[in-house]
Structure 1
Amino acid sequence: MFKKLIGQRAFSTSFSWFLKASIEGNGKVVSVNEGSKDPLKFPGIWLRDNCQCEVCYSENAQSRRIDYSDFSFKVKAENVEITDKVLNVNWSDNHKSAYHIDWLTDRSFTKEKQEQYLNEFYRPPYQTWGKSKFKDVVKYFEFDEVIRDDKVLKEWIETLSTYGIALIRNTPKDKTVARTLANRIGFIRQTTYGEEYVVQAKPNATNQAYLSAKLQWHIDLPYYEYAPGVNLLHFYEQTKTKGGSNIIVDGFNIAERIKNQHPEDYQVLCEVVVDWNDITVEQDIPYHNIWRAPVINLDADGNCTRINFSIPQRDSHFNVDVDKVIRWYEAFGKFVNMVKEETMLFKVNEGDILTFSNVRLLHGREAYDDSDANVRYVVGAYMDWDIIYSKWRVLKNQLANRH
């Protein structure tokens, strides 16, 4: 009962130095290992909320099923004791709970333990990079190994998450390669452009990506509230001319630089809401997408989670106070200048898959000559980070259990 699994991870660490427990704060806090230099303290309300008995917790679903219609937020611990590495608690609501010490230790409120868990199982911490470091961070993976070897698949996901970019080479001559890769992880994210989409020059294009002209920096679909997290671009055919090189910039690096060098401009780019839109027709279906968000998006800890950037998709409607407009352009101008400085050009080889974080890397393409004898044919597909990170955690647990 007490060897709990989180995901597929089991804890069996020995902590024989846990001797006893005590109640503090009039029953509101339970202290484990009283008398040690650094006892672990657990809020009583949290312990009661996470009772592991069959009434309060579903082992099969690995989720809480405590009945909150009859839950007291004023519950207090009345008696505690440790027996055979198990903390037993009697509560003021006449309920009894038992927690294995290993389970408690793994969930302790120490900063060290919390950071360890987040780094190991939330997502790999990202590392920013500039133009000069591009050759050091970009890594190649073999297609067959990613498809067949779980360890290689895990390494590819970690590289993609950490640096925002990774390349997969030696793919079969097949237009379904992007789908095969997506299915290896989970499934394709469908958008306005369907599931798989083809990027090639064509007449009367409704999207600038479908021209042979230069495609400047952007993220795809900034006008989506939930923009696709990852782009898979399979270069089925590559232009033989000098044009058509890919444009790549680490947007998180730009955000970091402007934060350090121009903190007031950084604040403007994090706070002023911009309108992003797309009015188009795809496969005879009309679309009008709008999303409003700043250029730099942060999580609750102040870390970058998304960069919004696309000159064509930035709406002429700017729904902010008029006195903020000029100030925003000043800050945005500094952002753009840094993007110019850090722009990296490289040409993906025919048959390779360029995989990158769509919400992090600003990307584009140089102009190229398009003719029947010089074709550039790219098959793309999107995936969501949620599905990729889920696969990563499953792989971590499975690989750990094999050893």
Structure 2
Amino acid sequence: MERKNRCCIATCTGERFDLAHRFPRSHELTQSWLQAIDSQNLRNINLRKLSDCYQVCARHFLTSDYRHPNSRNLNKLAVPSLNLKDLSQLHLARDSTPRGVENASVQTDSSTMKPLSINDGTDEEADNVPVELVECIEMYSNECDYDIKKHLLKEGERNDISFKITEFSSVFEIEHPKYEKPVYLNAFWLRFNCECSDCFDLQTYRKKINFMDIPEYIRPKEIFIEPLDTHTLFIEWEDDHNSTYDLEDVLRNQTSKECLFSKKLLFDSITFKETPQTEFSKLVCFDDTVEKVFVNLILHGFVCVTGISTQNASMAKLAIQRLFPHQQNLNFDVIDETHSEVCSNITYANIDSGLKCFFSTHKSEVLLVDGLNVAEQLKKSDTFAFDRLIQTPVLLKVRDNNIWYEKLGHVIDYDDEIGEIIRIQLDTQIMGSLNMLPQLKIHDFYDSLKLFMTIIRTDKNQILLSLEPGTMIILDNWRVLHKLSSNIGIWQCYLNRNDYIGRARYLGIL
């Protein structure tokens, strides 16, 4: 499916474009964009939400605003300057052709943010869209007396949102087609998480509003939805404060038993079809490729980046920093040892690291096993063995530079509350004491471990990947067991798991 790009400028309402650009992350440059666009509605949106959710199409940029005439990327100083109030300068724009839209109506800036205003332009998805009902609820400060106004769209009009909102006590109930059941939102939580400039510091990204100053049972006076592409929720509170929320962000904040495990594709030699990979040049240039890498890490537990220069590790570092921008002091080390069995790689300094990266400057091979898959197989074949491995604390002893590091862990970390395997922590070469287990039960533990290793060793569960020179493989060190065929020409580094999960959540993948 083609990516659909919509522009937040009023002159482009109802149209889609092949080329559009997100607001910059730089506060100073964003202010320049906002000053040029001159929209009070956009000024009320915080910087982070602007850069995540809003785009400006190529109609509003000169050719000189791009890195070169054929580039799809803006230069670092580009500011929109064309067709901001009308379309009289289309001939000067880099790309002025909308996609799949003819005779789209143009709304002024003041009309785009009215309660229940309708996008009455047509587009490629407008055919056969049924008439929808939108409920706009005006709420008053009295406890339960609400005046509900229903607005029915006229035939031929289109609205991307189809849901209703009701409220009881201090909780909103929202019915939305994205969810099978109604979702609930707490009014206090919404008020505390307002990110307007009065409540949220756009410089430090910290809340200005004092938690203790919010009334315990804060209530809205009015709530309505902007049924345009922004999908924005507007609330006027009892304290006369006005807040806007992105519905995607709001609806994601739901308690759920559905955890990371449900998003993972367990693999073995039968189900494994194609190596998840991306090219280094695309990773450096395109944000979509960054997201693709994280999607593959969540789904498969590993991803390969190809086409990296083999002269040194600096280009591999650049790839990592593209994924994790704060990793400025990243160090790649030459591997000086190999393992006899597939394992979770554990070292003195990185015993809890979430990601492991191998960069190959020579042709080599790596053996991979999906630890989650083999743990599930153990659970099905012998529940007693599985229980021993999730319940028995094992001492992990690692020595580095004459310093011993010891940690208690489980071969399989399992969260009973969510019913999810959290981590496979397996390296038989560093397993030490079982002093938290009676000596008479130690033999049972080793029998369970041997059964687990037998499942791991089966041909069905092992994937052998060939790494061409200039290939970096990034893998989830808590999930994917691995073993290199050789340490010649292999560099390695570790990444913190919190950085990995946090970045995936920021990108909206989790």
* 1:70, distance to aligned residue in structure 2 (A): 5.7
* 1:165, distance to aligned residue in structure 2 (A): 2.1
Q: Of 481, 490, 508, which residue of structure 2 is paired with 1:378?
A: 490
Q: Is the 8 A contact 1:188 1:381 kept in 2?
A: no
* 1:344, distance to aligned residue in structure 2 (A): 2.8
Q: Is the 8 A contact 1:124 1:162 kept in 2?
A: no
Change (3 A) 1:138 1:320: same
Q: How do 1:22-41 and structure 2 match up within 5 A?
A: 23=143, 28-31=169-172, 41=184
Q: In the alignment, is residue 198 of structure 1 matched against residue 334 of structure 2?
A: yes
- Partner Cα distance (1:289, 1:388) in 2: 24
- Partner Cα distance (1:394, 1:132) in 2: 33
Change (3 A) 1:321 1:78: same
In the alignment, which residue of structure 2 is the partner of 1:305? 422
Change (3 A) 1:29 1:246: same
Q: In the alignment, is residue 64 of structure 1 matched against residue 202 of structure 2?
A: no
Change (3 A) 1:223 1:27: farther
* 1:107, distance to aligned residue in structure 2 (A): 1.8
Q: How do 1:266-305 and structure 2 match up within 5 A?
A: 266-281=386-401, 286-298=402-414, 301-305=418-422
In the alignment, which residue of structure 1 is the partner of 2:477? 358
Q: Is the 8 A contact 1:273 1:292 kept in 2?
A: yes
In the alignment, which residue of structure 1 is the partner of 2:74? none
Letter in 1 for 2:453: V
- Partner Cα distance (1:83, 1:132) in 2: 51
Change (3 A) 1:338 1:187: farther
Larger Rg: 2
* 1:357, distance to aligned residue in structure 2 (A): 1.8
* 1:323, distance to aligned residue in structure 2 (A): 6.0
Q: Of 66, 71, 88, which residue of structure 1 is paired with 2:236?
A: 88
Change (3 A) 1:338 1:33: closer
Q: In the alignment, is residue 166 of structure 1 matched against residue 285 of structure 2?
A: no
Q: Of 186, 190, 196, which residue of structure 2 is paired with 1:43?
A: 186
Q: Is the 8 A contact 2:44 2:196 kept in 1?
A: no
Change (3 A) 1:57 1:336: same
Letter in 2 for 1:81: E
- Partner Cα distance (1:195, 1:296) in 2: 29
In the alignment, which residue of structure 2 is the partner of 1:138? 275
What is the percentage of aligned positions where both structures have the same residue? 16
In the alignment, which residue of structure 2 is the partner of 1:128? 266
In structure 2, list runs of 5 or more residues that go unmatched: 1-42, 55-111, 117-133, 145-166, 176-180, 227-233
If asked which structure has higher relative contact order (CA below 8 Å, sep 6+), I would say: 1
- Partner Cα distance (2:473, 2:249) in 1: 38
- Partner Cα distance (1:245, 1:145) in 2: 24
- Partner Cα distance (1:29, 1:109) in 2: 19
* 1:236, distance to aligned residue in structure 2 (A): 1.6
Change (3 A) 1:329 1:41: same
Q: Is the 8 A contact 1:27 1:77 kept in 2?
A: no
- Partner Cα distance (2:499, 2:252) in 1: 28
* 1:59, distance to aligned residue in structure 2 (A): 4.4
- Partner Cα distance (1:103, 1:15) in 2: 15
* 1:312, distance to aligned residue in structure 2 (A): 0.9
- 2:428 partner SS: coil
Letter in 2 for 1:88: E
- Partner Cα distance (2:316, 2:425) in 1: 25
Q: Is the 8 A contact 2:261 2:421 kept in 1?
A: no
Change (3 A) 1:48 1:179: closer
Q: Is the 8 A contact 1:219 1:358 kept in 2?
A: yes
Letter in 2 for 1:8: S
Equivalent pairs, count:
350
- Partner Cα distance (1:78, 1:64) in 2: 20
In the alignment, which residue of structure 2 is the partner of 1:220? 345
- Partner Cα distance (1:7, 1:294) in 2: 43
TM-score, normalising length: structure 1: 0.69
Change (3 A) 1:187 1:175: farther
* 1:359, distance to aligned residue in structure 2 (A): 1.9
Q: In the alignment, is residue 234 of structure 1 matched against residue 343 of structure 2?
A: no
* 1:362, distance to aligned residue in structure 2 (A): 0.9
- Partner Cα distance (2:391, 2:240) in 1: 48
* 1:138, distance to aligned residue in structure 2 (A): 1.4
Q: Output one character per residue of 1:56-92: Cα deviation in whole Å (capped at 9) or x when no partner.
A: 44344444343346667xx2246743368633333xx
Q: Is the 8 A contact 2:302 2:473 kept in 1?
A: yes
- 2:303 partner SS: strand
- Partner Cα distance (1:7, 1:322) in 2: 61
TM-score, normalising length: structure 2: 0.57
In the alignment, which residue of structure 2 is the partner of 1:183? 321
* 1:293, distance to aligned residue in structure 2 (A): 1.8
- 1:345 partner SS: strand
